[in-house]
Chain A
Amino acid sequence: MNDTGRLCQALALRLHCGAESERLRGNLARLANGARLWVEEIPDGADSRLAEVRREREMSRPADPRTGPGARAVLLRYADGTEELVVVAHRAVAEPYDLARALLGEAAGLSVRPAEQTAEREAELRAALAELDRGPAPEWGLGETGAATVGHRSFAVPAHAEVPTEALLRAALGLVLARCTGQSEVVVGRDAEHSVEFSAAPSQTVAEYLEVAGGAGPGSGRAPVVGLTVAPTAEMISGDGVKAEPFESRPFLAPVHPMSLYLAGDGSTVLSGSCVHRHAAFGDAAVEWFTGMLTTAHRALVTAAPDTPVGELSLFDDERRQELAELGGLGQDLAVPRERIEEAVRRRAERTPDAAAVTCEGETLTYRQLDRRADRYAAGLRGHGVAPGDRVGVCLERSLDLVVVLLAVLKAGAAYVPMDPAYPGERLAFTAEDAGLQLVVTRSESFPRLEGVLLVGPAALDGPGRARRGPGQPRDSGTPPRVSPDGAAYVIYTSGSTGRPKGVVVPHRNVAALLAATEGDFALGGEDVWTLFHSSAFDFSVWEIWGCLMTGGKLVVVPYWASRDPAEFAALLERERVTVLSQTPSAFAQLAQADRESRITGSVRLVVFGGEPLDTRPLRFWLDRHPERDCRLVNMYGITETTVHVTAQTVDRRAALSGSRSVGRPLPGWHVYVLDPEGRPLPPGVPGEICVGGAGVAGQYLNRPELTAQRFVPDPHAPGLMYRSGDRGRLLPDGRLEHLGRLDNQVKLRGFRVELDEIRARLLDAPSVTAAAVVLRQGQEADTAGARLDAYVVLRPEVADQARTGATEEVRQHAARFLPAHMVPSTVTALPALPLTPNGKVDAERLPLPLEGRSDGAEEEPAGAGDDVASRLRAVWEEVFGFRVGLDDDFFALGGNSLLGVRLLAALKAAGMPGFPLPQLYLHRTVRQLAPLLAQEGVSA
């Protein structure tokens, strides 16, 4: 980096009485180690555009003491007789003002620093710059890494009669920095070597804060990203018959800090400032917002009552605030039909009655058949006492029946509450009770029997049911009741931060809006074939089922085993000519792997990613084989509480190559705000909480008024509510959103939203546990399938002495009784105490890696004499898990899952060992159990 310009200052003076160039030249040469005076004749007047250009050029030229005198004077002689002197000097050599005075003969005593001291000082200053440059570019500055250019922006602030310019501007800067960094302690640079640090805490009054900022002490060593220099008013110079009036000064010729602000306190009522910024650290758009906030904060400090808390000062004027809201997508019109889901499906059934609607393992229903069967089931539901506005539990595997039942529930005017049959009984029971279910449609034998909850199989709905009529209730008349699109369509339970899942109530109109917002852009229609890949308890299935059936497509129900076997799933995509595929990135990674092994020659034209953050980089391999013109990839950020999706970003090759984290712009009808913890707006680039308003906002958690009031709050710019997602994100200047993870420690694991606190709460429920922590550990190199949850517990002293493995396994099993499989920690490690940060929080960084493998003494364990298959199998397990494995370690207890199972099969194949049908793994869960199975198969070639 060329630092010379950062260490030079410039001063322009207007000479009122003629200065003789020969005398000036002589003075200068005497003063500054051979510095020269240059005389330039400018063929235009001093007020001309040419004069401005020439003056600017001279004010911008650095003077390097390493290659020359480190100072320069240029006498500009204009055609109108005006004369100006521009003096540039390196900080190691002299102050331009002092040099100008000496040059003009006012203070003969002044001399510049001797050469040897100059060299020393120059080195010191350069070292100070190097120190400044060590800080990384602030992420919120939206700089362009590696850019060598400098941007410039002017701003203006009114002068204040009582508060000194520098104190006031510094105070305004402090407020803006605090908002942008999220920290109330701010540091502001003064020059290469000095900075001040002070608190911009929101509770201070304006009067207190101005005092704090004005009297700020030296910084503690944090490298400031923003510098502020306020030049003092320069006095007229007179001497030797010369009068010279300084009229412009520059404290640096290139930004000293990543962003450097300067302003001349020249006594005017409006002070014009300059902001120069390195593009490597601050983009032009970020600086535009920054200086806008700065002038607004400045005005607010001037106009607010002195006892106003500074936290209440607005950093955005109304116009900017509106601009920010529109940047987040506010105001995009969306025409949504006033229609319920089942009405939209009925409309399709009327239009294309014989088109295939749903197919599952060879059995197909046309739209007419689907509609009629769902009508019958709806009648069956009513026969079981279901009335409009009720909630009906549905706990079915993916099947034709599942789709029919869901549609039937809607036709009955009720809302469905989907539950995954694989969830533990206690969670199912909790859901049934919390949702106040009286009827659950399920085939599961193990669904908990609960007082007042009737369990029926789908078949029982096909025909008159056993009525549970109360006295006076009419028997089902067969006429569908009139119901509104504002009614609830479904209630989906999501992981809750209090340790309790919560039901999100989503109205029909939200789903209609979701389709209205995407149908055109995605060109969804009757030619499309969709997959139903996801559990109905995961709201991605809402998109899959209703997205398909409301647009007239054909829905292919993916059986459980096909959804867990990428090669089988790839074959299904080809067989069924699937066009619209929805996937979590983790699942898609497996599919892409299968595609690499055997290219999917298919018809998939649209892949919608959802459910967890997408790492776009690996997608370039897919794009190599399936170019964008054939298959569009769309990354969608979404939340159950805002109806599946919020934003959409088409991932093209450029995005994949750059590893873009953008999730795109909000769908029409949806809008986002990025707010700080106090709910105040944040400018583009600054991360905060993503809040979502518009057509998708669900509006409530079932029976949780307090939580509802906390998370669903009035939208500041539009009628209705906005949802505070708890997700961390930031807007980009072009209106796209970047999703940066969770504000709290809710994480996504293999597509599931997992609240670590919920798991922790379960662990703490175990009688032996006194403290607990849970962390998500990623597999090697962003291997999402290899991600696992590691739990740490502190056991009660009397338990801690017992065999460690036994005690921790008990804790794990306790957690497994309530938590769904994906939330059960893979490992539980007992610690004498949890490591804490100085603030008293659990220090996740210092939690040790869990014991490798579950069985103690795995090392010594003999595999059995001559049992070659077992030892080879164990080696493959260890390769797949990445740690040592015992012969009796349970595959699933080790953190194995179906994805890793598939990987195990691939590794066996690669090792030249025989494979086995994946379901066998559930029956033979240890190396010792599995080895004989493989031995039977014989070693394949």
Chain B
Amino acid sequence: MIRFQNVSKTYKNGTVALRDVSIEIDKGEFVFLVGASGSGKTSLIRLLLREELPDSGRIWEAGRDIVHLPKWRVPYLRRNIGCVFQDYRLLPNKTVFENVAFALEVIGRPKHVVATQVPQVLELVGLAKKRDNLPSELSGGEQQRVAVARAFVNRPLILLADEPTGNLDPNTSQGIMQLLDRINRTGTTVLVATHDEVLVNWMRRRVVELDHGTVIRDQARGVYGIEGSATSGPPSGRLPIVAAAGARLRARGQEPA
């Protein structure tokens, strides 16, 4: 579904974002992209959205070579990719329903499709009752759910999430992850860039770790840090609040199925 082949990217100011990255992600996989800030996670997502082009290497997405994709095809590529960001990126003047419907209108879906699909997806994210609220009337977690609904409403093949829980408290973050997990189970490939250690360790999915633009680890059912650190309890130096949240999650036995 997604394939990076020896991809390198250096920005104009000389910052090396990616260095000879090769990754392959199959259809229906759920992958965490982890690494410190500046390790190249966001650059990788931007490449997948064709917001940037690599300096060298090739990228295939949904069977297409997106590096050599003509510019006018880019919108059509993006219709196959749902995207969620840390800052939600909702339109503040549109209601929840309109925000989600917007994604369908933009790609020219007829009214009756909008009228049936939007309520469905709002039901999925648990916001059916808030369909007429404005984003400003929602909590952060609810806003991110709207963003997920918008990303998923036209059933994309791939769902990208760049720090989707970066602005949310641990409990809410967990809810968002469960939502992404549910979407993944419909067959959508999900790629989540995050440095939320607790969530990564809790979900136990494939983890790709970037460091200064290089893939230093690619591990099935992986954890955030070095293998084993999650099972042996919080390592020293971890933020107490995060550790507490992780402990709370484990205590409740809320393991994703």
A and B: interacting chains: no
Question: Could you tell me which A residues sit within 8 Å of B by CB distance?
Answer: none
Question: Could you tell me which B residues sit within 8 Å of A by CB distance?
Answer: none
